[in-house]
């Protein structure tokens, strides 16, 4: 294994689900889904990967800007190294990974999955493996359902439990409009959202039906169970939909982020109104489209 590239500094983009359909519960405990995911490069984590001279082979030192993010073997970035080493059948030289978080945790934006995919892409380049994206995606699927999507870095249709990824033909032309992403000061656990899916009920007055948008239909079957447990998110979505500046709004993934497609790029008044109505501690991300 050649290790000529000593250091890489990469962005790990967020994603949004513009469609998410839950089809059924599978025998393995996961749910069969169909979803269209789109990267949001303007919202990202930053990952620096480097070899450590003189370190013990196979060791991974992870440093993170957020103290609440685990830096042990449970972190998906570390798991990505372990999975790739396992497939290769040999350890990498000692590694340091520095993770600067720009994507909030528990947001439904795929931060941890994107980190893992970015580490795989970095190691493929640094170790000069020469693997195809398809081969990397196979390893990525062992780490988490959303990780293979981030290997491709383009709009994709995903199925199975999310690990079956197909870049969409019109992906090069699928450009998000200006987008606002809003997350309250709490996260949503994905397993719980799926567990409640089948028996959940709609909240009267909340829009769950598909919405038209510049990038096609917007719909998310997980809004029903998540909104039932977290009415705050239902209120946030409907508040956004009612704004004149917003063309459509939807929860991403299992939450807790709700994104809104905007009719214009700059809307500082809308952000101020959001904080006034929902609290100063909400997180707001922006994509220029």
Task: Mark whether 15 is an active-site residue.
Answer: yes
Task: Mark whether 146 is an active-site residue.
Answer: yes
Instruction: State how far the Cα of 183 lies from the Cα of 151, in Å rounded to an integer.
Output: 25
Which candidate in 15, 42, 45, 183 is catalytic? 15
Phi and psi torsions of 137, nearest 5°? -65, -30
Sign of CA dihedral 81, 82, 84, 90: positive
How would DSSP label each residue in 77-92?
HHHHHHHHHHHHTSPP
Which candidate in 42, 45, 146, 221 is catalytic? 146
Going from the C-alpha of 221 to that of each of 20, 24, 118, 261, 278, the distances in angstroms are 6, 11, 28, 19, 24
Joined tokens for residue 19 = 């469609």
**Residues 178 and 55: beta-carbon distance below 8 Å:** no
Residue with tokens 């489209």: 289
**Residues 35 and 165: beta-carbon distance below 8 Å:** no
Instruction: State how far the Cα of 78 lies from the Cα of 50, in Å rounded to an integer.
Output: 13
Residues annotated as part of the active site: 15, 146
């Amino acid at each position: 294994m050649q290790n000529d590239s000593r250091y890489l500094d990469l962005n790990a983009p967020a994603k949004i689900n513009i469609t998410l359909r839950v089809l059924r519960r599978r025998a393995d405990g996961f749910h069969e889904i169909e979803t269209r995911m789109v990267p949001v490069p303007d919202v990202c984590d930053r990952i620096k990967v480097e070899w450590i001279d003189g370190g013990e082979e196979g060791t991974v030192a992870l440093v993170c800007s957020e103290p609440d993010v685990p830096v042990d073997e449970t972190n998906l970035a570390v798991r990505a190294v372990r999975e790739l080493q396992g497939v290769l059948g040999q350890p990498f030289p000692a590694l340091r990974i520095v993770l600067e978080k720009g994507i909030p945790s528990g947001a439904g934006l795929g931060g941890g999955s994107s980190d893992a995919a970015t580490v795989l892409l970095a190691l493929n380049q640094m170790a000069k493996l020469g693997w195809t994206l398809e081969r990397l995606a196979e390893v990525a699927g062992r780490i988490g359902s959303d990780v293979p999507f981030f290997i491709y870095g383009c709009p994709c249709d995903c199925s199975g439990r999310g690990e079956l990824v197909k870049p969409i033909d019109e992906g090069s032309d699928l450009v998000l409009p200006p987008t606002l992403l809003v997350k309250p000061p709490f996260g949503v656990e994905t397993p719980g959202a799926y567990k409640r899916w089948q028996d959940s009920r709609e909240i009267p007055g909340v829009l769950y039906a598909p919405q038209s948008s510049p990038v096609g239909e917007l719909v998310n079957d997980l809004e029903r169970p998540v909104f039932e447990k977290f009415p705050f998110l239902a209120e946030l979505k409907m508040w956004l939909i009612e704004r004149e500046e917003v063309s459509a709004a939807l929860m991403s993934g299992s939450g807790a982020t709700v994104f809104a497609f905007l009719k214009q790029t700059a809307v500082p008044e809308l952000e101020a109104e959001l904080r006034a109505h929902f609290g100063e501690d909400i997180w707001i991300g922006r994509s220029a489209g």
